[in-house]
Structure 1
């Protein structure tokens, strides 16, 4: 199948080519999908997009006009794709439902440890042969209360890891995972109670109408002073303006994020020679108790392999006029 790969990055191309084994005809495009770049899909039956791409109703309509029949995401999240429009005009969409929950969970723990023990500042000092230990005090994670919002595949692994640290575990999810309660002693609480009782909060929920700006001033005001918040889910799960105010007021003691509310057009690209006008990211970047990584939690060999293999699997199914179990749309399989 002739496929255009939007937002293709150098690090992922070898994985896609290896998984493809020359079955599908790929064209790699560094540019992200947008209303302007949609026309580049003319002549392609399928496209592949990442979380950096925009598949709004207008873009979906354009893709349909250009002859695109299939969209395969190289991500779990699909909040950047208007599925209602895709269903209506019959463009089939599939994602990668699980590539490596360990990659995300382990990155979240890495953010926590780096922030808590001030490893960035410590390393900067040592690089200058400054071995002063002042202002590098952290805290024992052992016996701290960790609130895990979203206890699906990634949240379950975070639970397991933090149990190993000797933490008390609180969970919040619309569906309770009873196994986590049995194995690790997780106590499920309301979102408000979890925020009130946790020393550390880790977010692992999808972005939708229910979770947009889930963490806002109302909940931040109920948190323990000095709480550490880690977000490797989606940027807009946090109300960034409210989080910045929480940091300035000292309610939030530290913030570790791999995702950002306004990351589209910013992340995945080198802006070191550009003038950045986003005041929120400028403020966050200037705070010594904030650690930001550029949406790289998924960046492990295992995860990239799984993403590539599932992407090719989706295309394989469609090329045989079949249905992949990863489809997000509800469209009857097309006949030859």
Structure 2
């Protein structure tokens, strides 16, 4: 009997790809809606015999959600980050978790520079102005990136692509990362520095770190004060890396002259409108929504709806890797595993 896979957060046009690619290996069920504790009961009949679960970043796979799937043995997320999955609980219950470690380093890096250029040349302001048939230049003076300093927090796959692009613009680059690669720093022409030094000396700061306990609110009320006055802050990683209250304060006080955000703290709530009217909505969640609403209406902030990964090429790579992950699990050789179970997988080359 074929194992059952449930693919959630699936767009209509994706179904045919997965159906065609996996029909020989598994029985398939689809769910377009995100999966959370709030709606897991709704799908309990479909989930009870699900052995393989495929999710994206907006589904919150908590202990309660996992317990509703007694047959669950494998979760594969169609993303690099996996903070939306209770990996610790999975490890304790012998459930394997895999991710897509490489799919769009260049894709996210390109979007990072789209946000940087939108702010540095006031493209967002100019667009709205010309849309109203106004062509004056007042308030639209920008600045060159050449000879400016870019601070890259997280010099992994995506961060290194950003660094290459920055050097092409003629920028100086500082990087902060716990895992240093001195040879690459020499080849690409950047310097590793402590976080405080990066914040004090960068004209543009861009975040490419994973969301873990140590990086939660790594930009906060204390260190945001030392950022070079007038710098830009860009976040295409995870919203929770930045304390939104601190960001609003820094924008209001002129410490930061602009922010480019593809991710927001608590952004999942924006997608779950029904939760806004729940009496059980935590006070801190409501505060996050209010702060995000304020950010949305600031002229010095450019917000995109988590589309840094969303290119034709990157989506194809995500789908292809997800199919290969599922097949590898079925063959008994799961790959790209995360958490304590990662040692059981072969170290295969990214696709």
Q: Same fold (TM over 0.5)?
A: yes
String of CA shifts for 1:92-120, please: whole Å, max 9, x gaps. Answer: 11111111111111000001101221112
| Greater shift in the superposed pair: 120-129 or 205-214 | 120-129
Report how far residue 166 of structure 1 moved.
0.4
**Contact 1:19–1:308 (Cα < 8 Å) also in 2:** no
1:159-308 to structure 2, matched below 5 A, reads 159-267=163-271, 278-308=289-319
SS in structure 2 of the partner of residue 78 of structure 1: coil
SS in structure 2 of the partner of residue 262 of structure 1: coil
- Structure 2 Cα separation of the partners of residues 157 and 11 of structure 1: 30
Hey, what does 2:60 align to over in structure 1? 54
Hey, what does 1:324 align to over in structure 2? 334
| Greater shift in the superposed pair: 203-212 or 306-315 | 306-315
| Greater shift in the superposed pair: 13-22 or 154-163 | 13-22
Report how far residue 36 of structure 1 moved.
3.9
- Structure 1 Cα separation of the partners of residues 5 and 308 of structure 2: 26
**Contact 2:66–2:72 (Cα < 8 Å) also in 1:** no
- Structure 1 Cα separation of the partners of residues 243 and 315 of structure 2: 30
Closer/same/farther in 2, CA of residues 127 and 218 from structure 1, 3 Å limit: same
Report how far residue 41 of structure 1 moved.
1.1
Hey, what does 1:34 align to over in structure 2? 36
Report how far residue 18 of structure 1 moved.
5.5
Hey, what does 2:5 align to over in structure 1? 3
The answer as to 2:114 corresponding to 1:103 is: no
Closer/same/farther in 2, CA of residues 88 and 148 from structure 1, 3 Å limit: same
- Structure 2 Cα separation of the partners of residues 11 and 20 of structure 1: 15
SS in structure 1 of the partner of residue 336 of structure 2: coil
Which blocks of at least 5 consecutive residues in structure 1 are unaligned?
none
- Structure 1 Cα separation of the partners of residues 117 and 155 of structure 2: 21
String of CA shifts for 1:24-60, please: whole Å, max 9, x gaps. Answer: 3322212211124332412222111111011122222
- Structure 1 Cα separation of the partners of residues 292 and 232 of structure 2: 18
- Structure 2 Cα separation of the partners of residues 194 and 287 of structure 1: 26
SS in structure 2 of the partner of residue 44 of structure 1: coil
**Contact 1:4–1:27 (Cα < 8 Å) also in 2:** yes
Match of 2:72 among 41, 65, 68: 68
- Structure 1 Cα separation of the partners of residues 309 and 59 of structure 2: 17
Hey, what does 2:282 align to over in structure 1? none
- Structure 1 Cα separation of the partners of residues 48 and 24 of structure 2: 21
Report how far residue 13 of structure 1 moved.
3.8
SS in structure 2 of the partner of residue 266 of structure 1: helix
| Greater shift in the superposed pair: 23-32 or 49-58 | 23-32
RMSD of equivalent CA atoms: 2.1
Report how far residue 300 of structure 1 moved.
0.9
**Contact 1:61–1:89 (Cα < 8 Å) also in 2:** no
Report how far residue 21 of structure 1 moved.
6.1
SS in structure 1 of the partner of residue 314 of structure 2: helix
| Greater shift in the superposed pair: 300-309 or 141-150 | 300-309
Which structure carries more relative contact order (alpha carbon 8 Å, separation 6+)?
A: 1
String of CA shifts for 1:291-320, please: whole Å, max 9, x gaps. Answer: 111111110111111111111111111222
- Structure 1 Cα separation of the partners of residues 263 and 179 of structure 2: 24
- Structure 1 Cα separation of the partners of residues 325 and 53 of structure 2: 11
Runs of 4+ in structure 1 over 4 Å off: none
Which blocks of at least 5 consecutive residues in structure 2 are unaligned?
278-284, 346-351
The answer as to 2:153 corresponding to 1:135 is: no
Closer/same/farther in 2, CA of residues 130 and 255 from structure 1, 3 Å limit: same
More helix by share: 2
TM-score by length of 1: 0.91
SS in structure 1 of the partner of residue 152 of structure 2: strand
